[in-house]
Amino acid sequence: MYRYDEFDRTFVTQRVEQFREQVARRVSGELSEDEFKPLRLTNGLYLQLHAYMLRVAIPYGTLSSRQLRRLAFIARRYDRGYGHFTTRQNIQFNWPTLGEVPDILEELAEVEMHAIQTSGNCIRNTTADATAGVAADEIADSRIYCELIRQWSTLHPEFSFLPRKFKVAVTGSGRDRAVTAAHDIGLRLKRDADGRVGFEVLVGGGQGRTPILAVTIREFLPERHLLSYLEAVLRVYNQLGRRDNIYKARIKILVRETGTAEFARLVEEEWAHIRDGELALPEQEIARIRAYFAPPPYEALADACPELDAQRAGNRAFDAWVRSNVEAHKRPGYAVATVSLKPHGGIPGDASADQMEAVADLADAFGFSEIRVTYKQNLLLPDLRQRDLFAVWRGLKEAGLATANSHRLSDIIACPGLDYCNLANARSIPIAQMISTRFADLEREQEIGNVTVNISGCINACAHHHVANIGILGVDKKGKEFYQVTLGGAADETAAIGDIVGPAFDEDAIVGAVETVVDVYLAERRDAAEPFIDTYRRIGIKPFKEKLYAAR
Amino acid sequence: MRGSFVMPNTAITANRLLDGFVIYLTPDGGWSESLADAAIAATEAELDALQAVAERDARAGRVIGPYAFDVQPGADGPVPLGQRETLRTLGPSVRTDLGYQAARR
């Protein structure tokens, strides 16, 4: 099988030393910015509005407490005391100096982390189901396949200079927890009639200025063929994808212009040549990788937890947190808890060094030292005993991380926007802060129920606004920030692109517009059990439009 | 006729090589973190001269990506037109405690 042996310390360390030399040559003037830029981007180093930005990969969103502590250390020692978790399950440091970046990469290498595959027209870090290995409904642990994809794709010589960047997502069941429909390739784990594990394969999804949902090109791909089939898709794309126009270079355009059936035919044709070759995955190889993700030593527990019931009954704030932030675990007596990085009025996805350390401590004390990063810019403690939830909640509360708003309106995804980003047209974070402040009342949030609000500062759509129930896109009109609203998008297995509601709102009107949308929903919903998206699908955009523009 | 018609006042900005910080070209051909120190071009000829200096420094690797942007006079010196350049002057509006420019205010 074609793969790197292990992404071992020697390799990453060599890479760090190589970059250290490149930085030295840049500083001495030997390399121009044009020569240096592709080298720094290959190592995750961008230049943003105010400073350099280092994007660090968190493969399949999984961190050990040791790694999270190292990120905290880097934030404190080399940055300004915080980091920003992104929708790609990565972390960004906003203020590193050029000379210290090799040192940061060395710190990361010591804990088996790096910044490879966080930039450039290569296969990027795979988006994962953050509840892999613990979700009650999963077919298999999707991290196994994310790791296989990582080993296959990292520095893949054929796919290092694709027409454009390429993103793969894997979700563990028919429930889509990795936005697979908005990725270049989406993989949904499933079983066939004989009970064998495999994937539904979707291709051609993407957001940006041309949002398109992925289409299924194969209903069932047995797991042993995963890599050869991906290679076939990438090969067709690499050959036929456009390189003449950056806006038409993603695979979504190729699939749309070729047609789903013809694209699938081309992939199958290519695949026929390679399916039983060196990329075929023998069962032993899958088992070997599976062993990396062996479950932690769970205790045999009863699913009922009278202690937890009593704690919930005695503390309303805790009860609200359990209701919104705690999800079922596949093992009896255990639970999965979301650590909200969305305090009301705070910056979505930001965590201070102290907060990262607090979460690492809680993971050590209660959760087998493991932490996950979600595409919603939160953290997750995947393996908690239900009877420890109260202690975990108290610890999170002390660190300012216990906001009971997971999946609620104030659980907003926001890109860095014009406050940091070189590509942005408008600010995103202040809008998120104003909205989450307006909806800070927990009882009101609970009454509104689950809804997604995503805010992007430009059409590149890093905050996935196209697939939000309420999407907000920042635009620049003659140097002034305006915000366009879309409604009805969805990022789950019922994925949909939102509809533009009408003319954009200015900074002063956008929060009121969101409130109006929520008011229409509350007035129109059948009952409290009908979530926003269902009401929208039933009544359409018209009632929202009428209220939003009534006064105009 | 170059330099003879009215154009908006313009300054030159770039990012500094070593830390990426925002800097402005000054009248003596140096670079400052403060827009107040910036050289202001009022004619195309003045702008061309400033751009030549900026490009020289970019080629020498001292600064990255210099470009001109419009400013207008303000009480404490030039003020950028547009939100993007305003934010580059001040730092992130959401972390006024951290923006490097915040320290100067």
pLDDT classification of A3: cutoffs 50, 70, 90 = very low
d(CA B82, nearest CA chain A) in Å: 4
* pLDDT (average), residues A35-39: 96
Task: Please report the DSSP string for A219-285 in residue order.
Answer: EEEEGGGHHHHHHHHHHHHHHHS-SS-GGG-SHHHHHHHH-HHHHHHHHHHHHHHHTTSTT---HHH
Higher-pLDDT residue of A354 and A303 is A354
CA distances from A401 to A349, A389, A394, A397, A430 (A): 11, 14, 10, 6, 20
One DSSP character per residue, A409-430 reads: TT--EE--GGGT-SS-SS--HH
> Measured between CB atoms, which of B21, B81, B94 is closest to A429?
B94
pLDDT at B1 over 70: no
| Rounded Cα distance, A276 and A272, in Å | 8
Facing residue for B15 by CB, picked from A47, A97, A427? A47
pLDDT in tens, A68-124: 999 999 999 999 999 999 999 999 999 999 999 999 999 999 998 999 889 999 999
Structural domains in chain A plus CATH codes: 9-110 (3.90.480.20), 134-292 (3.30.413.10), 306-398 (3.90.480.20), 413-548 (3.30.413.10)
* Residue-wise pLDDT tens digits, A266-294: 999 999 999 999 999 999 999 999 998 99
What is the dihedral sign for C-alpha A352, A357, A358, A362? positive
Query: Which chain A residues are within 8 Å of B81, Cβ to Cβ?
Result: 479
B63 in contact with chain A, both atoms CB, cutoff 8 A: no
What tens digit of pLDDT does each residue of A213-223 get? 999 999 999 99
Residue A64 β-bridge partners: A370
pLDDT above 60: residue A549: yes
Asked if B64's CB is within 8 angstroms of A418's CB, the reply is no
Q: Give the pair of three-digit tokens for residue A84.
A: 């920003």
CA distance, residue A419 to nearest chain B CA (Å) = 4
Nearest by CB to residue A97, choosing from B15, B18, B64, is B18
pLDDT over 70 for what percent of chain A?
Answer: 98
Interface test with B, best of A49, A477, A478 (most B CBs within 10 A): A49
- Nearest chain B residue to A477 by CA distance is B82
CA A73 to chain centre: 23
Query: Chain A contact for B66, CB < 8 A?
Result: no
Instruction: Provide the percentage of residues in chain A whose pLDDT is more than 90.
Output: 94
Question: Using CB atoms within 10 A of its CB, is residue A313 exposed (0-12), middle (13-18) or buried (19+)?
Answer: exposed
> Kind of pairing, strands A453-456 and A45-47?
unpaired
Average pLDDT along chain A: 95
Contacts of A347 in chain B (CB under 8 A): 94-95
For A367-402, write each residue's pLDDT tens digit: 999 999 999 999 999 999 999 999 999 999 999 999
Residue B3 has pLDDT above 70, yes or no: no
Per-residue confidence band for A519, with pLDDT thresholds at 50, 70 and 90? very high
Q: Which amino acid is it at A467?
A: V
The answer to whether A130 and A175 are in contact (CB under 8 A) is no
Q: What is the pLDDT of residue A4?
A: 41
Residues of chain B with Cβ-Cβ distance to A430 below 8 Å are 93-94
Sheet holding A82-85, edge to edge: A45-47, A52-56, A91-93, A82-85, A350-352
The pLDDT tens digits of the residues spanning A457-476 come to 999 999 999 999 999 999 99
CB contact under 8 A, B61 and A26: yes
List CB contacts (< 8 A) between B65 and chain A.
33, 47
Which residues of chain B have a CB within 8 Å of the CB of A47? 15, 20, 64-65
Chains A and B form CB pairs within 8 A to the count of 77
A89 HSE (CA, 13 A, CB side):
28
Task: Please list every residue in chain B whose beta carbon sits closer than 8 Å to the beta carbon of residue A98.
Answer: 17-20
Residues on chain A touching B95 (C-beta within 8 angstroms): 347, 419
What span, in angstroms and rounded, lies between the C-alpha atoms of A342 and A412? 7
Q: How far is CA A413 from the centre of its chain?
A: 10
The pLDDT score that the predictor gives to residue A11 is: 85
* Contact between A455 and A463 (Cβ < 8 Å): yes
User: Chain A interface residues facing chain B, Cβ-Cβ under 8 Å?
Assistant: 26-27, 29, 31-33, 47-52, 80, 95, 97-99, 347, 418-420, 426-427, 429-430, 433, 476, 479-481
Q: Once rounded to an integer, what is the mean pLDDT over residues B70-88? A: 92
Confidence of residue B2 (pLDDT cuts 50, 70, 90): very low
Between B20, B59, B94, which is nearest A51 by CB? B20
Residue of B nearest to A81 (CA): B98
From the DSSP assignment, how many helices (H) and strands (E) are in chain B? 2, 5
CB contact under 8 A, B58 and A47: no
Q: Does B87 contact A at CB distance below 8 Å?
A: yes
- Asked if the model's pLDDT at residue A427 lies above 50, the reply is yes
Residues of A in contact with B60 (CB under 8 A): 29
- Mark yes or no for CB contact B18/A418 under 8 Å: no
- Here the tokens at position A525 are 């919903």
pLDDT at A448 over 90: yes
pLDDT at A145 over 90: yes
Provide the pLDDT confidence category of residue B100 given band limits of 50, 70 and 90.
low
Chain B residues whose CB is inside 8 A of the A476 CB are 83-84
Q: Is the pLDDT of residue A5 over 90?
A: no
Q: Say whether B19 and A97 touch across the interface (CB within 8 A).
A: yes
pLDDT band at B76 (very low <50, low <70, confident <90, very high): confident
| Mean pLDDT calculated for residue range A52-59 | 96
Express each pLDDT in A147-177 by its tens digit: 999 989 988 999 999 999 999 999 999 999 9
DSSP single-letter state for residue A125 = P
B chain contacts of residue A49, beta-carbon cutoff 8 Å: 22, 84, 87-88
| Contact residues on chain B for A479, CB-CB shorter than 8 A | 81-84
pLDDT, mean of residues A340-347: 98
Q: Let me know: does A180 contact A186? Beta carbons within 8 Å.
A: yes
Nearest CA to A91 out of A379, A321, A514, A365 is that of: A379
Give the SS3 label for residue B15: strand
Choose the closest CB to A50 out of B17, B59, B91: B91
Interface confidence, given as ipTM, is 0.92
